[in-house]
Amino acid sequence: MTVTLFIPCFVDALFPQAGISMVQILERLGHKIVCPEAIACCGQPAFNSGYWDESRVVAVKVLEQLRDAETVVIGSGSCGAMLKNFYPGLFADTPHEKLAKAVSERTWEFSEFLVDKLGVTDLGARFPHKVTFHDGCHGLRELHIKKPPRALLSHVQGLELLEMTEAETCCGFGGTFAAKFPMISAAMGEVKCASAIETGAEYIVSNDSSCLMQIQGLLSRQGNALKTIHLAEVLNQE
C-alpha cells in the first residue's frame, strides 16, 4: 500500500536516522512511501501551551497534505496522539472538523502499524545487545500502545529485553514543560535514568525520539555510557 510517512520536526532536524529507518523498513515490506514536503510539525508545541490558533495554522497545513493519504504512519507516540486524539478537538466546529476526524482514523503510530495493522512482528533484525524499553506517555496513555513495540523487540535476534521498574513513568520531557520547569523535568528524568541504569541495559529504546532526547541529554550530562536509540533503528539493524 501507499504509506504517507509523517516525520516530526525534531526527527527531521535532530534524529533523521529514525525516519530513514522507518522508510527502509516499510519499503522492505513492499510499501510505497510518500513524505509530503510541506509537513514539518504537527503543531503540538503551540497546542500544549494553550495557543490553539497558532497551532491550527500548522495543523491545517498538515490536514491538507494528508487529505488524500490512504494511511498515515508516524514514528512518534506524541505526534501520533496529536493527530489521532487532539486534532478532532482542535478543529471542533470549524470547516476542517470532518477532515480532522478522517485523518485521525487513518493515522497509525509506527509500531502499532506494523503489528496491529500489518500483522508483522519479525523484521529479521539483529541487535545483539541488552536493551530496556521506555514507554512514552502519549503512546502509552493516549494511544494505548504497550504490546506492539515489545512484540517487535522480542523477535530481534540477539536482543535481550530487560524491563525497568519505571518503564511507564514519565521521562519528564513534556515539550515546553522541559524548558519552563527545568528543575522538575530533570528530577523526573533522573528517576527514569536511574531505573534504566539499574537494569544493566546498554540501550534505552523507545518509539518516541522526544523522550529519548530528554533521557540522552541527562545521561550525557551525567557521563553515563547508557545510550538511547529509536525502535525503528533497532528494527533496521541487520
Partner 1 sequence: MSTFASQFLQDAGRATDNSDQRRFIRTALGNYEIARDRHKGSFQDWQGARQLAAGIKWEAVNHLDKYLEQFVLKLESRGTKVHWASTGLQARETILQIVRKKKAHSIIKSKAMTSEEIHLNDALEKEGLQVVESDLGEFIVQLRHETPYHIVFPCMHLRRGEISALFQRELGSAPTNDPEELTMIARRVLRKKYITADVGITGANFAIADAGMVSITENEGNARLTAALPKTLITLIGIEKILPRLEDLALFLPMLATMGAGQQLTCYNTLYAGPRQPGESDGPEEWHVVLLDNHRTQLLADTEQRDALHCIRCGACLNVCPIFRNVGGHAYGTTYSGPIGSVITPHLRGLQDWKHLSNASSLCGACTETCPVKIDLHHHLLQNRRNAAQEKPAFLERFAYQIFSLLVTKPALWSLAKKMGRAMQPLHKIIQGTPLDPAKSWTQSRELPRLAPESFKDWWRKRR
Interface contacts to partner 1, rule CB under 8 A: 7, 9, 11-17, 19-20, 23, 35, 37-38, 40-41, 43, 45-52, 54-55, 57-58, 61, 137-138, 140-142, 168-170, 172-175, 177-189, 191, 213-214, 216-218, 220-221
Helix (H, G, I), strand (E, B) or coil at 212: helix
Shortest Cβ 40–partner 1 spacing (Å): 4
Task: For the CB of residue 200, give the shortest distance to partner 1 in the complex, in Å.
Answer: 20
Nearer to partner 1, 39 or 159 (CB): 39
C-beta closer to partner 1: residue 25 or 159: 25
- The partner residues of 160 in beta bridges, in order of sequence, read 130
Shortest CB 238 distance to partner 1, Å? 19
Q: Encode burial over 185-194: b for 16+ CB neighbours within 10 A, e otherwise.
A: bbebbeebbe
Distance of CA 77 to the CA centre of its chain: 4
Could you say which DSSP state residue 146 is in? S
Helix ranges (DSSP H) in the chain: 9-13, 16-28, 44-49, 52-66, 77-81, 87-90, 97-106, 110-112, 137, 147-154, 177-180, 182-198, 209-222, 231-235
Cβ-based nearer residue to partner 1, 161 or 213: 213
Q: How far apart are CA 100 and CA 97, in angstroms?
A: 5
**Cell numbers describing residue 121:** 512482528
Nearest residue (CB) to partner 1, 112 versus 135: 135
Taking the complex as a whole, the smallest distance from the CB of residue 152 to partner 1 amounts, in Å, to: 21
The smaller minimum CB distance to partner 1, of residues 48 and 121, is found at 48
Residue 63 or 123 having the CB closest to partner 1: 63
Query: Minimum CB separation from partner 1 for residue 66, in Å?
Result: 14
Q: Residue 76: which of 2, 9, 151 has the closest Cα?
A: 9
Unique residue bearing C-alpha cell 504490546: 147
With beta carbons less than 8 A apart as the criterion, state whether 46 and 54 touch.
yes
Least Å distance, CB 222 to partner 1, is 10
Q: Which three cell numbers stand for residue 181?
A: 520547569
CB of 57 to partner 1, least distance (A): 4
Can you tell me the distance from the alpha carbon of 82 to that of 79, in angstroms, rounded to the nearest whole number?
Answer: 5
User: Between 69 and 156, whose beta carbon lies closer to partner 1?
Assistant: 69
Angle among Cα 100, 134, 171 to the nearest 5 degrees reads 80
